[in-house]
Structure 1
Amino acid sequence: MYRVVRGIQPVGQGTFYTEIHNIKAGDEHCVVFDCGSKGGMECLEKSIKDTFIKDQVIDALVISHFDKDHVNGIVHLDKRCKIRNIVIPQFSNRKWFYIVADFVSRGGRSVNMDVCNLTIFRRRGIRTIEVKPMDDEDRGNGERTIELSLEGGESITISSGTRIKLLGSINGNDSNAKWMYMPINCTLGKDIARLEAKLNAVVNGFASLSADAMKNAIENHGGDINKAYKDVFGNSNASSLCLYSGLDDARLQIPLCIYSTALYWRRNGNSTEACLYTGDSELRNLTKLSCIDRMLGTLKMRIGLVQIPHHGSIENTDTGIFDLFLNRIMIFFMSYGIGNKYGHPSQYLIDMLRIKNNRVVEVTQEKRYVEMIEIG
């Protein structure tokens, strides 16, 4: 029996999602999607200790983007576990972009020149895998496949839609089915290029400035830089990974059962084990939805669980998400902190999801959601 335990952890206004694969006794693999929280660090640290034993190996940590409510718990995860690979949006030669995005997300009040310090991970032999924007060398429905080494290795850059396989074949059946992860960088490369041109008009050669010069430029021209960013992207959540997690063949018919803690729902079937994690992706953008749809291809028919991005904000999602999944009945989940100052989640959005007979799971600092998937 191949078993996957998927945990949507109770960290309040943040994101910490875990998947633990039990292939057989003594053969376990773990993947984490984001690890951070605003105002819920005690809950986050407890969730890490509840989920992982000391020195447990994390095959891959996937970071959707670099806002602190998605990454500020990594230091605690790193102390508890041994991380082998980190998957992030393409960062090399684009650090300036994430510095500006972080500046905008802080309301233009402060500059953080160290939004993602990869040096410490590379020095310890943790491999970084950078994912290109989804319109950069678009390969469509995940035509490239890589196997992850459990011992790290050389850092690499991959295209959005690349299939990452951590495990061997699913035990207990005669197929060559494999569980896979497909990261999609929902940033559009053409938009980054537009922003660079606008910033160059503010400060010549902005993207090539030294760290000190860039910090000074942002401090001295913060209003113009903030405006340039919002002219292109609208809000600060333009740079985020989506992640498909599920079996690698849309046509595969294989017995499976899914049990969950939300009202003891149980999904029986052979095609709904997959999850689409969305981070803070901006899914109101029809161009982005079209790119995601093209990259998922028929794999979207395996998806039964979907994260509503950005803690259930109406700014990031509208009813267009129904079209992505062909109006199938789904389970949607969102993570938010009770009493958060942002007004998340949108009750209107929750009502729209439920009108279509979808199930909505709300995960807070007081309640987690867990699925157990049994295959074969």
Structure 2
Amino acid sequence: MILQRTFHPVGQGAFYTERHKISNGKDFTIVYDCGSFQFTNLKNRIKSAFQKGEEIDILFISHFHVDHINGIKELKERCKIKRVILPLLDEKTKYILKINNYLAKNYKDTTLIDNPKRFFDEETSIIQIEEEGYQDHRVNPDEIEDINRLNNIDKKKSGTVFSYDKSLSYKDQWLFIPFNYKQEDRFNLFNKLLKEEYPYIPLNKLDDIKIIEKYEAELKKIYKKINGDLNVTSMILFSGSIKPTPIRCWNIPIKPHPSQYYEYYSCPHDFKYLNYEYRIPSGCLYTGDINLKKDENIVKEIKSRLRLQWKSIGTIQIPHHGSIHNFSEEIISKAIKCAIISFGTTNTFGHPSDKIMGDILSKNIALYLVTENIETMVIQRK
């Protein structure tokens, strides 16, 4: 199998792709999130990544913030998306997402949140991942689902294991394992403050953009008090195999200065300084905007559920653009040698955190800052 994984330079957002060329000669392509506050740049990267009419086998959506979803319409118009795997939303989660997207970026399109089936083409299968419930068991071959057999199945359990080639032995199969975690702390605080300060606002009608617009001033005041970011769900994704097979990693320096980087990279990463290459385990943990810091049990659960795959995770996408509020060092294993932080250079949120970057570098991990600039793109190839 040949794999090319790309962390695309789209600025304050996320757009990650994997292209698998498998043993039967077929291509299998996934996308994890497609959005950015630098929307024009994102559209250009989509056109650069995919030819018109190209097939995407799975689009994974971590959550429904503007900077993770606003490129999906462009993506589906350019490509044929066969399947979408996304978090299952309840009604209260839907309305809080609409409020967040409107207040954060005046984003009014709610179709994807309200009705994913209507948003995509009829031929696109929608698979919704239920909220995670702790299950202390390992993945085994009998539990692996064949992606090619998935049609319009409404719901799957968090932690369901998908593979695109079950003809291979268990250890050789490439696995996709999504986990949907629900974190309601900010949601509950938002509701509490809203009821206390503006009891006349009808909570049961805030799923309507017109009502949100009507009470925009009041909602903004509460939003600022909790420092924004009303994120309730975040679906993380393990992509990899049980085998810790190696993958090579490059960035694309416009003006390479090998001597500047040699000391930092050479020892831990089998560095070849002329092309900024090093080898790491091929698995990746995509984390979206999950809050790993708020609840220590989440990290324990992730480690428990993925304990057979843990040594094969060489790359981690740091959650929420490197926010100081979302990262926990406990998620870092000895196998992880590469960390990705996606952010826009003009963001006003303090992303990425200086402390988080220091914590990552102190663990002798290669840190890549993927921005809107083309030279920050990171490519991995197996």
With normalisation by structure 1, the TM-score equals 0.79
Query: Structure 1 residues 336 and 191 mapped into 2: Cα distance closer, same or farther (>3 Å)?
Result: closer
Q: Does 1:280 align with 2:275?
A: no
Letter in 1 for 2:377: R
Greater alpha carbon shift after TM alignment, 59-68 vs 349-358 = 349-358
2:181 is aligned to: 186
Unaligned runs of 5+ in 2: 253-272
Query: Structure 1 residues 192 and 86 mapped into 2: Cα distance closer, same or farther (>3 Å)?
Result: farther
Structure 1 Cα separation of the partners of residues 369 and 212 of structure 2: 41
Greater alpha carbon shift after TM alignment, 27-36 vs 110-119 = 110-119
Query: Structure 1 residues 176 and 111 mapped into 2: Cα distance closer, same or farther (>3 Å)?
Result: closer
Match of 2:84 among 79, 83, 86: 86
Instruction: Write out per-residue CA displacement over residues 40-77 of structure 1, whole angstroms, 9 at most, x where no aligned residue.
Output: x2322222222222211111000011111111111111
2:92 is aligned to: 96
Structure 2 Cα separation of the partners of residues 356 and 86 of structure 1: 35
1:242 is aligned to: 236
Structure 2 Cα separation of the partners of residues 224 and 16 of structure 1: 30
1:294 is aligned to: 304
Instruction: Write out per-residue CA displacement over residues 263-290 of structure 1, whole angstroms, 9 at most, x where no aligned residue.
Output: 6454447xx1100001111111213222
Structure 1 Cα separation of the partners of residues 70 and 290 of structure 2: 19
1:11 is aligned to: 10
Q: Does 1:260 align with 2:260?
A: no
1:119 is aligned to: 117
Query: Structure 1 residues 122 and 142 mapped into 2: Cα distance closer, same or farther (>3 Å)?
Result: farther
1:141 deviates by: 4.0
Query: Structure 1 residues 371 and 109 mapped into 2: Cα distance closer, same or farther (>3 Å)?
Result: closer
SS of the equivalent of 1:77 reads helix
Structure 2 Cα separation of the partners of residues 200 and 149 of structure 1: 47
Instruction: Write out per-residue CA displacement over residues 337-371 of structure 1, whole angstroms, 9 at most, x where no aligned residue.
Output: 12222231112211221122111001111121000
Structure 2 Cα separation of the partners of residues 220 and 308 of structure 1: 35
Is 2:66–2:105's contact at 8 Å kept on the other side of the alignment? no
Alignment of 1:1-376 (within 5 A): 2-23=1-22, 26-39=25-38, 41-91=39-89, 94-104=90-100, 106-107=102-103, 112=108, 114=111, 116=113, 117-121=115-119, 124-135=122-133, 138=135, 140-142=137-139, 144-149=143-148, 153-169=151-167, 177-188=172-183, 216=211, 235-247=229-241, 249=242, 252=243, 256-261=246-251, 264-268=275-279, 272-285=281-294, 286-317=296-327, 320-321=328-329, 323-328=330-335, 330-366=337-373, 367-373=376-382
Structure 2 Cα separation of the partners of residues 109 and 360 of structure 1: 29
RMSD (Å), alpha carbons: 3.6
Query: Structure 1 residues 292 and 18 mapped into 2: Cα distance closer, same or farther (>3 Å)?
Result: same
Corresponding pairs, count:
351
Letter in 2 for 1:331: C
Query: Structure 1 residues 176 and 142 mapped into 2: Cα distance closer, same or farther (>3 Å)?
Result: closer
Letter in 2 for 1:313: S
Instruction: Write out per-residue CA displacement over residues 60-99 of structure 1, whole angstroms, 9 at most, x where no aligned residue.
Output: 00001111111111111111111011111112xx133132
Letter in 2 for 1:363: V
Structure 2 Cα separation of the partners of residues 45 and 122 of structure 1: 18
Structure 1 Cα separation of the partners of residues 322 and 88 of structure 2: 25
Query: Structure 1 residues 75 and 114 mapped into 2: Cα distance closer, same or farther (>3 Å)?
Result: closer
With normalisation by structure 2, the TM-score equals 0.78
Structure 2 Cα separation of the partners of residues 68 and 126 of structure 1: 22
Is 1:98–1:115's contact at 8 Å kept on the other side of the alignment? no
Letter in 1 for 2:293: R
SS of the equivalent of 1:186 reads strand
Structure 1 Cα separation of the partners of residues 191 and 137 of structure 2: 28
Is 1:125–1:153's contact at 8 Å kept on the other side of the alignment? no
Instruction: Write out per-residue CA displacement over residues 127-165 of structure 1, whole angstroms, 9 at most, x where no aligned residue.
Output: 111111212x74644564322237x62232111111011
